[in-house]
């Protein structure tokens, strides 16, 4: 690929109301679509999380733990379908801004083993990018060689894509200003860490908390561990607040913005 793409992850905590099942945050989705259109970054790949679409269903049917009984199969499918409908909302909003968004189901070209990506058939994705489309992927219920099925987080996908596509930049949009020294939602004395190295990440690991509500994929700690691989490969990686207007826009433009930058 001639130009290195930007990989933008939009957290489920941003594009949905995380504590209300199947409730999108339409205001945020619309505003982010407008910011992405205004930033005119190309090529770009977007990955979004599940928030209140994927997680509650995945939890009810215990999808993340893999196949245990027949009754889960409907839940597996329902989890995927919920994500398809959230993806449609994101794609439609991008199309409304005349961006050639193209929804692609990760479960159609990714296979995991114990929840970690094992097979990634990236040919269609790279071809879509080369053609000028904007692939829009999402955390998905996927088939798994070891446990039948698994939940694949948007974070793991975004980190893998950043590595595979040799991304120019990986932007993780979340609902807080970045990585704090403890969970800012429960600890009012939590302090934002604006820069940190890989080594410091491992030291912090035991202090960083999970997500607040029913997130089956690991919250901020899971997120930061996924970021280790792209950061180690020298890919510029930032965590920014996607609920605050223009933060994602500025990160897309490579401008200075409040957030957490992780370095090798």
Q: What is the binding site for ligand ADP (CB under 6 A)?
A: 11-14, 49, 51, 174-176, 179-180, 182-185, 208-209, 211-212, 215, 219-220, 223
Our CB check for ligand ADP shows the closer of 124 and 198 to be 198
- To ligand ADP, the closest distance from the beta carbon of 251 in angstroms equals 15
Residue for token pair 């099942």 = 21
Which of 51, 106 has the CB closer to ligand ADP? Answer: 51
Within 13 A of 205's CA, how many CA atoms are on the CB side? 11
CA nearest neighbour of 174 among 197, 160, 192, 200: 192
Q: Which helix (H) or strand (E) element contains residue 52?
A: helix 51-60
Q: CB-wise, 144 or 215, nearer to ligand ADP?
A: 215
Pick from 85, 48, 98: nearest CA to 248: 48
CB closer to ligand ADP, 7 vs 98: 7
Cβ distance to ligand ADP smaller for residue 39 or 239: 239
**Least spacing, CB of residue 71 vs ligand ADP, in Å:** 27
- Cα distance between residue 61 and residue 185, in whole Å: 28
Of 146 and 199, which CB lies nearer to ligand ADP in the complex structure? 199
- The least CB distance from residue 56 to ligand ADP, in Å, is 13
* Shortest distance in whole angstroms from residue 64 CB to ligand ADP: 13
**28, 88, 86, 50: which is closest to 241 by C-alpha?**
28
CB of 226 to ligand ADP, least distance (A): 10
Point out which residues pair with 172 in neighbouring strands.
9, 239
With beta carbons less than 8 A apart as the criterion, state whether 239 and 172 touch.
yes
Shortest Cβ contact with ligand ADP: which residue?
A: 11
Chain centroid, CA 20 distance in Å = 19
Nearest Cα to Cα of residue 122 among 136, 110, 140: 110
State in angstroms the smallest separation of the CB of 217 from ligand ADP. 7
CA distance 81 to 61: 14
């Amino acid at each position: 690929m001639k130009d290195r793409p930007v990989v933008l992850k939009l957290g489920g905590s941003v594009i949905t109301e995380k504590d209300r099942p199947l409730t999108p945050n339409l205001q945020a989705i619309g505003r982010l679509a407008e910011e992405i259109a205004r930033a005119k970054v190309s090529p770009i790949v977007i990955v979004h999380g599940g928030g209140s679409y994927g997680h509650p269903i995945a939890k009810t049917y215990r999808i993340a733990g893999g196949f245990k009984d027949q009754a889960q199969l409907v839940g597996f499918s329902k989890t995927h379908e919920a994500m398809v409908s959230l993806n449609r909302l994101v794609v439609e909003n991008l199309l409304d801004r005349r961006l050639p968004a193209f929804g692609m189901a990760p479960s159609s070209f990714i296979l995991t083993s114990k929840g970690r990506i094992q097979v990634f058939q990236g040919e269609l994705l790279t071809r879509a990018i080369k053609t000028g489309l904007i692939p829009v992927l999402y955390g998905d219920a996927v088939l798994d060689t070891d446990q039948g099925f698994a939940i694949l987080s948007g974070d793991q996908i975004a980190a893998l894509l950043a590595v595979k596509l040799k991304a120019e930049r990986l932007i993780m949009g979340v609902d807080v200003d970045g990585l704090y020294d403890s969970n800012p939602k429960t600890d009012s004395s939590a302090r934002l860490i604006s820069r940190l190295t890989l080594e410091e990440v491992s030291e912090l690991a035991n202090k960083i908390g999970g997500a607040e509500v029913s997130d089956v994929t690991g919250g901020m700690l899971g997120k930061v561990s996924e970021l280790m691989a792209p950061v180690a490969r020298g890919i510029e990686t930032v965590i920014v607040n996607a609920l605050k207007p223009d933060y994602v826009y500025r990160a897309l433009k490579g401008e200075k913005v409040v957030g957490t930058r992780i370095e090798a």
